[in-house]
Structure 1
């Protein structure tokens, strides 16, 4: 049995209309979810394939960090798919600095976040004080590095050049892209 805590405002998304999303996650990941809607605690018990069950906590965390359930369920599509979180708050000195850094990651009209997705190849969601990433290891690494560069104060142009370079390397290596539309941000 594993336990994951998600924000109160994401519990409804995890459960879904009439429990539909929760049942889909349970069926796909071969687990049983026990959701405490009072405190956001989710107990996860594997009832089938243990390998699929191991991905369930990341699926729940991804939904909790702002991903649409369909995007989070893609973690089951491929053994290589992974979920990662960049903590914006830990890179900030105070609340105003956190807002500024979050704004740098989003970019004007969401353009920076979009470029991280397009050039990095991963799904990217900025929610609360975190940036969530779902993708193959190379994709996640590219987006994480770009986000850390921005949080450290690198100019956007430098980060975009880095992402274009990584995009071309992955393309050259025949890396298939895993990004699908459907993330929320």
Structure 2
């Protein structure tokens, strides 16, 4: 059993209309969710497959960090799906710096966040003072590296070039092998 705390404004998303989202998570991840809507505390208890149950807290955390439930449930697709959080606040000096760096990560009209997602193939969400990533290890790594470059002050053009290089590397790896749904590959 694990306890996860999510922001109050995300509790409704976790529960869903008439409890629909909560029931779907419980069914697909084989967990039971006990949600305290006053505090945002969620108890996640595995009730079925213990391996699936391990993904339950990450699904709840991902929804709490701004992901749509469908995106968070991608974590169940296979063992290779990761959920990672980049703490933007840790890279800032004050509130004004946080706003500026968060703005750089989002980009004009959301273009930078969009390109991070598009070129990596990962789901990318910026919520509060965090950047959340859901994807395969190489996708998560590409987005984390790009975000760190931006937080360190790299020009957007350099970051986009880096993402395009990583995108091309990932594409050429997919061409060399055919990846089957079970994760196995053939040449």
Per the TM superposition, whether the score is higher than 0.5 is: yes
Q: TM-score, normalization: structure 1?
A: 0.94
User: Which secondary structure state, in structure 2, belongs to the residue aligned with residue 67 of structure 1?
Assistant: coil
Alignment of 1:17 with 2:17, yes or no, is yes
* Deviation readout 1:91-140 (Å, 9 max, x if unpaired): 00000000000000000000000100111110000001000000000000
Unaligned runs of 5+ in 1: 178-185
Q: Look up the match of 1:89.
A: 89
Number of residues of Structure 1 aligned to a counterpart in Structure 2: 177
Query: Structure 1 segments of 4 or more deviating over 4 A?
Result: none
Kindly indicate whether structure 1 or structure 2 has the higher relative contact order, using CA contacts under 8 Å at least 6 residues apart: 1
Q: Look up the match of 1:119.
A: 119
Q: Look up the match of 1:182.
A: none
Q: TM-score, normalization: structure 2?
A: 0.93
Q: Look up the match of 2:110.
A: 110
Unaligned runs of 5+ in 2: 180-187
* Deviation readout 1:125-173 (Å, 9 max, x if unpaired): 0001000000000000000000000000000000000000000000000
Q: Look up the match of 1:26.
A: 26
User: Which secondary structure state, in structure 1, belongs to the residue aligned with residue 118 of structure 2?
Assistant: helix
Q: Look up the match of 2:49.
A: 49
Q: Look up the match of 2:168.
A: 168
Larger Rg: 2
Partners of 1:171 and 1:75 in 2: CA distance: 22
